[in-house]
Amino acid sequence: MKIHAGYEIAYQCPQPTPMILMLNVHPSRAADLITPDRIELNPALQLNTYRDGFGNICHVIHTLKGRIALTTDFYINDSGAPDVVAPDAEQHPLEKLPAETLVYLLGSRYCETDRFIKIAWSKFGKVQKGWPLVQAICDYVHDRIEFGYAYANPTKTAWDTHNEGRGVCRDFAHLAVTLCRCMNVPARYCTGYLGDIGVPPEPDPMDFSAWFEVYLGNRWYTFDARHNIPRIGRILMARGRDATDVAITTSFGPNTLAGFRVVTDEVPAEKALTA
């Protein structure tokens, strides 16, 4: 399967402003790219590119005063397979977890594990460990939280989401990640493209999506508390502890979002043959 993806994002800056961009496809998917995933800037600016501590591709720019537009347009191969389901995947005792997974057991900016310990253990303490436990957490978050773009708030934490009972995909992910960590399951936040592929199209404009991964059975598995079903065509951009680590742009000065459009579409078979 081939997917056409990209974005057009614009900011209005009242003064020259440094920014960190995290808008590229994750290196783990680089081999699947058919055409380059290259950020185009208007006006053209120098990009200082680096890999962060989580392995994500980042760019530092220094905008001029005025409007800055960021765009990309690319094609990528995808297996077309849904997210892996492994009901027998086992949970590892803490002392047997790889050292690099331990950071994903700790609290972070949007995932206040200290506030959820009692709640998590009272609700999930008797659930079978491993895959059934993570699925029970996803079911709980999916059923408890109402989705709506009007509920988006960049400062909303897992605790806020749990109390308000509503949020967007990042809030579903933050709450599920927090509960998993409380139950000693390493969980990391993911962001990327997820189009309406293999499911009825939604009426809302396309956006980037958030989901999460957990470490079970000696590997990482994908879970999605918002949709709560295996999905097709995820294109990972970045992973981290929570949305702080994987923000598409981090600005070091005032600015206003002036335009936002995301594309994620399956390429029809007849076109894919000539792509």
Is residue 10 a contact partner of residue 69, using CB atoms and an 8 Å limit? yes
User: How many Å apart are CA 148 and CA 123, to the nearest integer?
Assistant: 25
Secondary structure of residue 85 in the 3-state scheme: coil
pTM above 0.85, yes or no: yes
In this predicted model, what pLDDT tens digit does every residue of 112-155 receive, in sequence order?
A: 999 999 999 999 999 999 999 999 999 999 999 999 999 999 99
User: How many Å apart are CA 1 and CA 232, to the nearest integer?
Assistant: 10
Count of alpha carbons within 13 angstroms of residue 8, beta-carbon side: 3
User: How many Å apart are CA 5 and CA 193, to the nearest integer?
Assistant: 8
Write down the pLDDT at residue 270. 62
User: How many Å apart are CA 25 and CA 55, to the nearest integer?
Assistant: 11
Write down the pLDDT at residue 205. 84
Q: Which of 175, 242, 207, 116 is nearest to 167 (CA)?
A: 175
Write down the pLDDT at residue 271. 65
Q: What percent of the chain has pLDDT over 90?
A: 95
Is residue 35 a contact partner of residue 4, using CB atoms and an 8 Å limit? no
Rounded (5°) CA angle 4-31-195: 30
Is residue 116 a contact partner of residue 160, using CB atoms and an 8 Å limit? no
In this predicted model, what pLDDT tens digit does every residue of 197-222 receive, in sequence order?
A: 999 988 888 899 999 999 999 999 99
Q: Give the domains, in start order, of the chain with CATH numbers.
A: 2-80+248-272 (2.60.40.2250), 94-240 (3.10.620.30)
In this predicted model, what pLDDT tens digit does every residue of 241-272 receive, in sequence order?
A: 999 999 999 999 999 999 999 999 999 876 65
In this predicted model, what pLDDT tens digit does every residue of 60-111 receive, in sequence order?
A: 999 999 999 999 999 999 999 999 999 999 999 999 999 999 999 999 999 9
Altogether, the residues listed in the chain come to a count of 275
Write down the pLDDT at residue 273. 47
